[in-house]
Structure 1
Amino acid sequence: SQVVWRADGGADAANPNPTSIQAYTSLAYAPDPTIPIRWNAFAGVTLQAPDQSRPFDRYGVKVNWQRIAPDYAQFLSDANVISGGTGAPYSRDKFVFEANAH
C-alpha cells in the first residue's frame, strides 16, 4: 500500500494520522491446478482520517477479481445439476465490489 495524497502535503510531520488517501493492490496465482481459485487480484483506495477529530476513521472502496480453475467450474455445474438446476456452464471469472468503513 502507498499513501498517494495527504491533505497537509506532508508538511505536518508531528501528525501521526493526517487526512490522506492510500492505494493498494495485489495479484496472486496458484500454480497447483487442484486449487479452486487460480487467480486473485484486487485494488482499492482508502480515505484515512477524513475528520481530524476522529483520526482513526477510514472509508474505502475495493474491486476484487477471481478466476476459478476449469475443474472447479465443472464441479459447480455438476453440483447444480444434482441439486435440480440446469447445469449451465459456470463462469470462471467473478468480480466483487466492496465499500467499507472502519
Structure 2
Amino acid sequence: MLSNEALARNLNALAHPRRAMLFRLLIDDPAAGDSLQSLIAASSLHPSFAIHRLREMERCGLLIRRRKGLNTRYRLATGAFTAALATALRLSEAAHAPRQVRAA
C-alpha cells in the first residue's frame, strides 16, 4: 500500500498538463516511448521540456527509463497504482465521450 506521501507525490506528478499528456501518450501508444525522439515527435514538446517532465515522472516512480547504447527507452512503471490510473483515465474518457443518437 502506498503511503500518503507517495500517493501525493504520484498524483502531483500528473498534475501538470504536459506530464498528464505524456502519461496518456504512453498508455495509448507504448511504442512512442521507444526513444526520446519518438516521444518528442508524438508529443510535439520541445526536447528540454520533454526531458524535464519525464524525469519528474521517473522520480515519482510512474515511469521507467532504460538506456541501451545511445538509445533511451521510456515505459510506464508496472504496478497497481499505474494500472489504476490508466483504468481511471479510460473510464473518464468513456464517460465524457460524445454519445451517438440513434435515428427513430
Smaller-chain TM-score range? under 0.3
TM-score by length of 1: 0.26
TM-score by length of 2: 0.25
Which protein is richer in strand relative to its size? Answer: 1
